[in-house]
Structure 1
Amino acid sequence: MWDKILHRFLTHLIRQGRLTVTYPDGTNHSYGGIEPGPEATISLHDPTLPRRIVMSPDLAVGEAYVDGRLSIENDDLYAFLGVAIGNVAAQGQPWFRRPLEAARHLGRWAAQFNPASRARANVAHHYDLSGALYDLFLDTDRQYSCAYFSEPGMSLEEAQEAKKHHIAAKLLLRPGMRVLDIGCGWGGMGLTLARDYGAEVLGVTLSQEQYRIANDRARAEGLADRARFELMDYRALTGQFDRIVSVGMFEHVGVPHYREYFDKVRARLAPRGIALIHTIGRARPPGSTSPWIAKYIFPGGYVPALSEMTRAVENAGLMPTDVEIWRLHYAETLRHWHDRFMANVDAARALYDEQFCRMWRYYLIASELTFRLNRQVVFQMQLSPVQDAVPLTRDYLYQGSQTRRQAAE
């Protein structure tokens, strides 16, 4: 029965490209071919897989690929996920899956309830993995967020530097300004603002590993007097700051806490201060997190719609002074990460095991193709309590980068 339901599901779904499936009983079916697109051939080796895929495609397919119950001809994960993600984006779910998707959407409030204790555990799940793992695929500054490919042919290191300086330009920094970095990662952004712009930086993180490394880096660079990093929840902060920056952290806040987050930003921001929030976003209505991503990669995480963010911003009494949408920059970033990871996959296998490597590769490719094919972008939202805190045109954002290019020449 479930083979037939999956057959109907795939008949509805696959139009672009072609997907050939060998079912557990040995029968073969080919789907799609109506519109051009990638082609992939898969085999299902577990008789329970058709039911699992119908009930929760993201979770079932991801788990089955990782543990080998689903195999792909030539292990062409790009082609298979290109067919799957591209068609989901174009066709949507068939009618019989819509109640399941609606229930998942309704349940997201419970899944994303992130009090401090739960937020700490969620962060540890991902960011307290071996530091050696991140050295295998990130740039030398360990920027684990979208790079900014402002010019063709940029290396990953160059694009990550461009990202940090583009954000710094939006903060309109002056030496001596107090800057709060919410979700400071391994310290790269905070150290850049302290070293290159003379800021006094406080970074906060819930990751033990990031806290230790960020402070070690500050001491090694002689910046400990201007950049310090604390192991604490942003909700426990007091005082006010001239500037607030948050890069790649808002995805972990959770929808039930959006108003609380922006209320805290407003409370911590000086009367004429500026905040810059950089987050992955969805260029479509609110939804829910992939069950596979929530279980294995980012528990408690959620990619917001712009409408969800702006409602919380408005209620917090903050003025949006600039909203910028980055398209495909994260897809390029993830491609760099994937290629670096695969170049070092033997080292990753020595750190963990083969299943971990398959999981990480699946995560990187699925994420890249979601940005390429499924209306996922990056939002940079500049905020202030007042509307004249920044210049009236965007020219100021590019004067600094032009000066830096001239100096490099």
Structure 2
Amino acid sequence: MTSKLEGLLNRIVRTGTLTATTADGQSRNYGDGTGEPIAIRFTDQKAENELVDDPQLKLGEIYMDGRMVMDAGDIYDLLALVKSNTLAEDLSPGMIWRGVARLALTRLQRLLPFNHNQRNVAHHYDLSAKLFDLFLDPDWQYSCAYFETPETSLEEAQVAKKRHIAAKLLLDEGQRVLEIGSGWGGMAMYLAESSGVDVTGITLSTEQLRVSRDRAEKRGLSSRVRFELQDYRTMKAKPFDRIVSVGMFEHVGPSNYGRFFRKAAELLDEDGVMLLHSIGQPTPPLVNNPFFEKYIFPGGYIPSLAEVLPAVQKAGLFVRDIEIMPRHYARTLRLWRERFLARKEEVIRLYDERFVRMWEFYLAGSEMAFTHQGFFIFQMQLARNTFAVPDTRGYMAEREASLAVFDATRPPLEKVTY
């Protein structure tokens, strides 16, 4: 075992139990012996050296490549162990200079005028539709579910999420609704069917556009629900009564927050209401996670509310309600990962084992952010007119109760197979 690897693990793992076996067969224990045992094994010495030099990126890469194997526990357990131990003083000089270099590159990229939105979206969302069918609920909701009780299933929680958002939108029959980032069409179809509204959904993913249009047609909703390949920044339309955006804001980036909310204000009627659902984190991040930036969500950015609210104010929008949901996404991600790994052989047939490990690391790392780094979901209700929303929140529960009656009688969603 190299002294550098030993030094890194000694610095990081002070509580818990970790056994590391190197490529030459040597094993050593780290931590204080508490908690469930976790064991990792390296298959080559180069992997050990890479981890020491750049753990932020290389931990995910060597796991993805099968060069670090979990012999006890899973990759979430390892990530949670590391995060629960890590302090600022654990950073080595190499880790510090790489962090500085990534910070400089990040700031430079934010200044450049290039528009890579469609390319970045395609990197993740234009993967095979069959992949998402393996682990999402029947409506293909690829955002945080809303668990009303500990016993709530993923399917029930995703319906509850749509119901919760619909209630906050204060929908009335015949209203025009814009969905920014329409995914595979589930939210738009739900709003149209539950509330009798007309919905336009926009996306930058050609795969999601194809699937959502097909679903709306099969559901008999094409006259009331339409989807377009459209960047919100260049959209021209008569103002909408309502705007909803779920799980898209993470792709906007701080340099575009002003433009995003100014455009939203332009596209929202004077008496309109907007609901923004996004991941947030406690403080503004200096840099993105390098593994996620390179392999999962290039150009993605998780904001803090301190970064978002000034842009809302400058756009002339009023914040009428903010709800913070700290743990719902951790459970959503855990269930997605369990369902994904249960269909592992099918994913391998679509892609390969390396892809499986890459996505397992992505889902586990995302869950860990909510359990150990203070990440949360926020739902922000906005309006151009401060009187567009009631002063008390009772209407939300009343509308959710009414929508629950609809949900109980809604015809089941057709199985999506592509």
TM over 0.5: yes
2:45 is paired with a residue whose SS is coil
Q: In the aligned structure 2, how far is the partner of 1:50 from the partner of 1:342?
A: 26
Alignment of 1:7-406 (within 5 A): 7-33=6-32, 36-74=34-72, 76-88=74-86, 93-94=90-91, 96=93, 97-111=95-109, 117-239=115-237, 240-405=239-404
Q: In the aligned structure 1, how far is the partner of 2:100 from the partner of 2:113?
A: 25
CA offsets 1:330-361 (integer angstroms, 9 cap, x no match): 11111111121122111111111111111112
Q: In the aligned structure 2, how far is the partner of 1:272 from the partner of 1:92?
A: 52
Per the alignment, do residues 58 and 192 of structure 1 end up closer, same or farther by CA in structure 2, a change over 3 Å counting?
A: same
The CA deviation at 1:111 is 4.5
CA offsets 1:335-392 (integer angstroms, 9 cap, x no match): 1111211221111111111111111122112211221121111111111122222111
Specify every segment of 5 or more residues in structure 2 that has no aligned partner in the other structure, as ranges.
410-418
Q: In the aligned structure 2, how far is the partner of 1:75 from the partner of 1:349?
A: 22
The CA deviation at 1:74 is 4.0
1:78 is paired with a residue whose SS is helix
CA offsets 1:53-93 (integer angstroms, 9 cap, x no match): 234313101110111111121463232222123323x6675
Contact 1:112–1:301 (Cα < 8 Å) also in 2: no
Q: In the aligned structure 1, how far is the partner of 2:74 from the partner of 2:195?
A: 45
Question: What is the aligned residue count?
Answer: 406
The CA deviation at 1:114 is 8.6
1:278 is paired with a residue whose SS is strand
1:215 is paired with a residue whose SS is helix
Per the alignment, do residues 7 and 134 of structure 1 end up closer, same or farther by CA in structure 2, a change over 3 Å counting?
A: same
Per the alignment, do residues 406 and 177 of structure 1 end up closer, same or farther by CA in structure 2, a change over 3 Å counting?
A: closer
Contact 2:319–2:382 (Cα < 8 Å) also in 1: yes
Contact 1:134–1:142 (Cα < 8 Å) also in 2: yes
Counterpart in the other structure of 2:414: none
Per the alignment, do residues 278 and 178 of structure 1 end up closer, same or farther by CA in structure 2, a change over 3 Å counting?
A: same
Identity %: 46
Contact 2:283–2:306 (Cα < 8 Å) also in 1: no
Contact 2:175–2:241 (Cα < 8 Å) also in 1: yes
Q: In the aligned structure 2, how far is the partner of 1:387 from the partner of 1:219?
A: 37
Q: In the aligned structure 1, how far is the partner of 2:250 from the partner of 2:147?
A: 22
Q: In the aligned structure 1, how far is the partner of 2:357 from the partner of 2:246?
A: 27
Q: In the aligned structure 2, how far is the partner of 1:372 from the partner of 1:359?
A: 20
Contact 1:286–1:308 (Cα < 8 Å) also in 2: no
Q: In the aligned structure 2, how far is the partner of 1:392 from the partner of 1:324?
A: 15
Aligned-partner residue type, residue 233 of structure 2: R
The RMSD of aligned alpha carbons is: 2.3
Aligned-partner residue type, residue 76 of structure 2: Y
Q: In the aligned structure 1, how far is the partner of 2:363 from the partner of 2:138?
A: 19
Q: In the aligned structure 1, how far is the partner of 2:318 from the partner of 2:285?
A: 22
Contact 2:182–2:188 (Cα < 8 Å) also in 1: yes
Aligned-partner residue type, residue 45 of structure 1: T
Q: In the aligned structure 2, how far is the partner of 1:246 from the partner of 1:349?
A: 32
Aligned-partner residue type, residue 94 of structure 1: L
Contact 2:121–2:204 (Cα < 8 Å) also in 1: yes
CA offsets 1:306-338 (integer angstroms, 9 cap, x no match): 111112212222211111111110111111111
Q: In the aligned structure 2, how far is the partner of 1:294 from the partner of 1:113?
A: 17
The CA deviation at 1:271 is 1.4
Per the alignment, do residues 363 and 238 of structure 1 end up closer, same or farther by CA in structure 2, a change over 3 Å counting?
A: same
2:37 is paired with a residue whose SS is strand
CA offsets 1:206-263 (integer angstroms, 9 cap, x no match): 1111111111111111111111000111111112111111100011112221111111
Per the alignment, do residues 71 and 198 of structure 1 end up closer, same or farther by CA in structure 2, a change over 3 Å counting?
A: same
The CA deviation at 1:152 is 2.7
Per the alignment, do residues 281 and 93 of structure 1 end up closer, same or farther by CA in structure 2, a change over 3 Å counting?
A: farther
1:107 is paired with a residue whose SS is helix
Specify every segment of 5 or more residues in structure 1 that has no aligned partner in the other structure, as ranges.
none
Per the alignment, do residues 170 and 176 of structure 1 end up closer, same or farther by CA in structure 2, a change over 3 Å counting?
A: same
Q: In the aligned structure 2, how far is the partner of 1:50 from the partner of 1:345?
A: 27
Per the alignment, do residues 405 and 266 of structure 1 end up closer, same or farther by CA in structure 2, a change over 3 Å counting?
A: closer
1:242 is paired with a residue whose SS is strand
